[in-house]
Chains A and B, each alone.
Chain A
């Protein structure tokens, strides 16, 4: 029982991280129907950006105090990711706005490879995993059920920040003028233009928001696992995409639920399914295939959004 609950907790923590990345996928896909493969790398870049700030630009005395280090790293990671995402949109995707569908998808693959390699080549020591400083109260508390369920404080932070940001974003999209413009652009770009909305600006905004959230996720990931490597983007990016599809693409709430489900599948699959943790990734891909084949509109998607 306590193992089961521990795995549930682990799943939710990992899942809320995935959810944060998934939001970027789902928003970009909602607006320009592009699977932005490089989004996983934006997440990775955010982690390295946060780490670089802490390592090279902030005095160690400051880094040693988590209540300084955490906000600095989060903001730095978010900024770096946001800038990279916006630059990527501007220079790689925007010129292909009217191109046939395969072109941006392949471009995304290229951007993904290039970003990963750029970090590997230019970040000192990035050829191997790099230790990441803990950015929150260390330790854990124990819920006394069975043998005890250990909950790390960092994990709590992960869940609170992720769900908080997701909730805030949802409010932003539902309630504000810019949020309305985003929804309008995603529903009907031409008519949005007739309303005086500049789609390019909305698209940039979308990339910026998605990038910032991915950057935050990157820093949280580093702080949670205590080391980062350049492969983290690809794998988690695919998980996040799966989460976005699960929840119904274009839907922020769906992305969050999808992320949590992915986290649970991974934690429980690794615990209880044959093959153990060596195959936990495989189960996620199996879920992805099943969902895409049998319910491509996801949990929350409206059937009209099923794409050709």
Chain B
């Protein structure tokens, strides 16, 4: 049994099925990517995994336990953190308050303070402006804060939705370097990306989602080499640096 197992997930918004059969595995300690075009159902999948949406059918097992019916705050308690698409920071709160909200479920004040410091070490720019309102930061800095916030719950599985969206190539590289660092520290990462080239480059395992279904899977390198992937997602210019 894999660390995270998703089987035949179907999710609908009213009558519209956004996800019609997604299945994939995430092994502990790996970086796993879901790639696919805009509207393929990647974000809906993540929102379902974190409990924001209820699936119509299908199962999600995390460490052997079925979690698809749990509310979001309980799923977080199990160790699954989700940094949502568009970062969704609390714009009118300070950096520090955002990080503290990330640690909302924790009670160990010392540990929280230490982890806040760890985020500041990881992203020094946040530490320098810790009392500033999050809404005032640039896109890349906001992404750092979003990842830092997700880390504050000490997740076993970190889910990142489009962390590179709207970022400059340098910033994207920085974010992805951080993701690799997190893996080195033992955090499992589930990455959703439109920037397929960058995502596949660092993924241990990857899945292609097309029209709400998982269509291809393989290691990052395999998919990078796959002509179908190249044609559909790595066409000229896409994700090139």
- Asked if the two chains touch in their complex, CB atoms less than 8 Å apart, one says yes
Q: Which residues of A contact B (CB under 8 A)?
A: 177, 180-181, 183-184, 187-188, 190-198, 302
| Closest A-B pairs by Cβ, 8 of them | A196-B105, A193-B72, A196-B76, A191-B88, A196-B73, A198-B73, A195-B104, A195-B101
Residues of B within 8 A of A198 (CB): 71, 73
Q: Does B59 contact A (CB under 8 A)?
A: no
A180-B73 in contact (CB<8A): no
* Interface of A (DSSP majority class): helix
B101-A184 in contact (CB<8A): yes
A193-B102 in contact (CB<8A): no
Interchain CA distance A164-B89 in the complex, whole Å: 32
18 contacts between A and B (CB under 8 A): A180-B93, A181-B101, A187-B92, A188-B90, A191-B84, A191-B88, A193-B73, A194-B50, A194-B72, A194-B76, A194-B81, A194-B82, A194-B84, A195-B101, A196-B76, A196-B77, A197-B104, A198-B71
Name the distance in Å between A121's Cβ and chain B's nearest Cβ: 39
Given A184-B93, A196-B77, A177:B100 Cβ within 8 A:
yes
B104-A193 in contact (CB<8A): no
* Interface of B (DSSP majority class): loop
A196-B52 in contact (CB<8A): no
- List residues 46-83 of chain B with CB under 8 A from any CB of chain A: 50-52, 71-73, 76-77, 81-82
- List residues 26-53 of chain B with CB under 8 A from any CB of chain A: 50-52
| CB contacts between A and B, total, < 8 Å | 61
Q: Does B153 contact A (CB under 8 A)?
A: yes
Residue of A nearest to B50 (CB): A194
Beyond known contacts A190-B88, A195-B153: 17 more, CB 8 A cutoff: A180-B104, A183-B93, A184-B90, A184-B93, A187-B90, A187-B91, A187-B93, A188-B90, A191-B88, A193-B52, A193-B71, A193-B72, A194-B76, A196-B72, A196-B73, A196-B153, A197-B104
A190-B71 in contact (CB<8A): no
Residues of A within 8 A of B104 (CB): 177, 180-181, 195-197
A183-B90 in contact (CB<8A): yes
Name the distance in Å between B99's Cβ and chain A's nearest Cβ: 10
Interchain CA distance A188-B90 in the complex, whole Å: 7
Residues of A within 8 A of B93 (CB): 180, 183-184, 187
Interchain CA distance A271-B50 in the complex, whole Å: 59
Chain B interface, number of residues (Cβ within 8 angstroms): 24
Residues of B within 8 A of A190 (CB): 52, 84, 88
Interchain CA distance A181-B90 in the complex, whole Å: 11
Interchain CA distance A194-B71 in the complex, whole Å: 10
Name the distance in Å between B96's Cβ and chain A's nearest Cβ: 10
A197-B73 in contact (CB<8A): yes
Residues of A within 8 A of B51 (CB): 193
Query: A177, A191, A193: which contacts B90 (Cβ < 8 A)?
Result: A191
Residues of A within 8 A of B84 (CB): 190-191, 194
Q: Does B97 contact A (CB under 8 A)?
A: yes
Residue of A nearest to B76 (CB): A196
Residues of A within 8 A of B77 (CB): 196
Name the distance in Å between B74's Cβ and chain A's nearest Cβ: 8
Name the distance in Å between A200's Cβ and chain B's nearest Cβ: 9
Residues of A within 8 A of B90 (CB): 183-184, 187-188, 191
Residues of B within 8 A of A194 (CB): 50, 52, 72, 76, 81-82, 84, 88
* Residue interface mask B206-237, A partner, CB < 8 A = 1: 00000000000000000000000000000000
Residue of A nearest to B100 (CB): A180
Interchain CA distance A185-B90 in the complex, whole Å: 10
A180-B88 in contact (CB<8A): no
Interchain CA distance A198-B51 in the complex, whole Å: 12
* Residue interface mask B93-136, A partner, CB < 8 A = 1: 10001001110110000000000000000000000000000000
Residue of A nearest to B146 (CB): A191
Residues of B within 8 A of A197 (CB): 73, 101, 104
Interchain CA distance A191-B91 in the complex, whole Å: 12
Residue of A nearest to B150 (CB): A194
- List residues 143-191 of chain B with CB under 8 A from any CB of chain A: 149, 153
Query: Which of B76, B93, B104 has most A Cβ within 10 Å?
Result: B104
Name the distance in Å between B234's Cβ and chain A's nearest Cβ: 31
